[in-house]
Amino acid sequence: MYGYEIEKHAALQQDMIRLWHKEEDEVVAEAWILPEYGANLCRFKVDGTDYLYPAPQKVLDFRHYGTPVLYPFPGVITDAKFTFDDQLYRFPPNRGDLYRHGFVMDEKFNYSEPKVLDNGVICKTSIEIHPNHPLYALLSISNRLDLDFTLEGRQLRIDVKVTNTDPKKRFPFGFGVHPYFNIIGTKDNTLIHVPAEAWVDRDEEKLVPIQDAPRDFRSLTPIDDLVIDDVWKGMKPEHPQMIEYPAIGKKVTIYASEIFEVAVTYRMEKADFFCLENWTTTHDAHNLYAKGKQDIANLSILNPGESVTGSLTYQISDL
């Protein structure tokens, strides 16, 4: 049995969509989405366990919260500017002299009433940036992002569609999500698996074969005291990222479609969370592309009227 409720977020006082799945009258899976706060998947709970930070704790920090959406580019833009098709685009720096993670993380998305399906429940959200939208001033190319959240059993799928709605201009973009996962049990007994083919050397602007990388998470690796902020390339749908939680006998498998060729592993010092992220581009993709380094950048470019689709699935299962 599936259903949904529309609630108010206690701190934000914005609409929050709760999707749920019951088995024998017991709730076994729940997902909460904040359409008016960047379409953030802010909570994912399965069999009584919360997998996204900071739930079930009180929200004290909206920067490190749930699953921020990174669009129309994940990562940093060096000097907060890039040139594409002979046009210079400038952004207000938001980290030193850099601009990072796009500009929709706390923006209002439109959403429709969730719909119960034969084997799931779906919430559809979207944001359309056009000449009358305030964000158009930052990147004056009309575009639309659709994110559909579907709870099916003990998994949550995000279907992504990006459309260039501009009548004339090409749209260079990237998309990513930045989920903050809880450490469950102990740090040395929370394990990650990232089956990448290469590590991105951001200083040298080159790809390093995984066997020569400073770190390698192809084998299950404990979080322990890791302090990491690494970008990886060569991700394949048949080789998903994974988190294992032996303390509760569960694992999270992150299935990503072909467009998500880039992964990011991130953890701050002594943080109670860590991040396994899926991106379509690397950091500074527009500027790398301008330098002829598309093999690293992986920048997506849509002609007027074109669109691209992809999906991410977070599946909870037994070890």
Q: What pLDDT shows up at residue 78?
A: 96
Q: Beta partners for 115?
A: 122
Q: Is residue 1 in a domain?
A: no
Among candidate residues 259, 208, 207, 213, the one with its CA nearest the CA of residue 236: 259
Tell whether 52 is covered by a domain.
no
In a domain, 137, yes or no: yes
Asked, for residue 290, whether it belongs to a domain, the answer is yes
Q: Taking a C-beta distance cutoff of 8 angstroms, is the pair 104, 312 a contact? A: no
- On whether residue 271 sits in a domain, the answer given is yes
The pLDDT score that the predictor gives to residue 220 is 98
Q: What percent of the chain has pLDDT over 70?
A: 100
Strand-pairing partners, residue 136, are none
* Cα–Cα distance, 272 to 53 (Å, whole number): 8
Q: Record the tokens describing residue 264, joined without a space.
A: 């990011």
How is 47-113 classified by DSSP, letter by letter?
TTEE-BTTTTSPP--SSS-S--EEBS--SEEGGGEEEETTEEEE---SBTTBEESBS-TTPPPEE--
DSSP tally for the chain: helices H, then strands E = 2, 29
Q: Measured between alpha carbons, how far apart are the two ends of the chain, in Å?
A: 25
Q: If we measure between CA atoms, which residue out of 97, 38, 41 comes closest to residue 72?
A: 38
Q: Please give the tally of structural domains in the chain.
A: 1
CA distance 94 to 90: 12
- Cα–Cα distance between 259 and 106 in angstroms, integer? 24
Residue 314: left if φ>0, alpha if ψ -120 to 50, beta else—which one? beta
Give the 3-state secondary structure of residue 288.
helix
Q: Is residue 107 part of a domain?
A: yes
23 belongs to a structural domain: no
CATH at residue 202: 2.70.98.10
The domain of 140 spans 70-318
User: Which whole number is the average pLDDT over 81-87?
Assistant: 98
Going by pLDDT thresholds of 50, 70 and 90, the confidence category of residue 62 is confident
pLDDT tens figures, 168-193? 999 999 999 999 999 999 999 999 99
- Give the mean model confidence (pLDDT) for residues 96-125: 96
Phi/psi-derived region of residue 226, left when phi > 0, alpha when psi is between -120 and 50, beta in every other case: beta
What pLDDT, on a 0 to 100 scale, did the predictor assign at position 95?
82
Q: What are phi and psi of 87, to 5 degrees?
A: -115, 135
Q: Round to whole Å and give the CA distance between 136 and 140.
A: 5
Residue 250 lies in a domain: yes
Mean pLDDT of the chain: 97
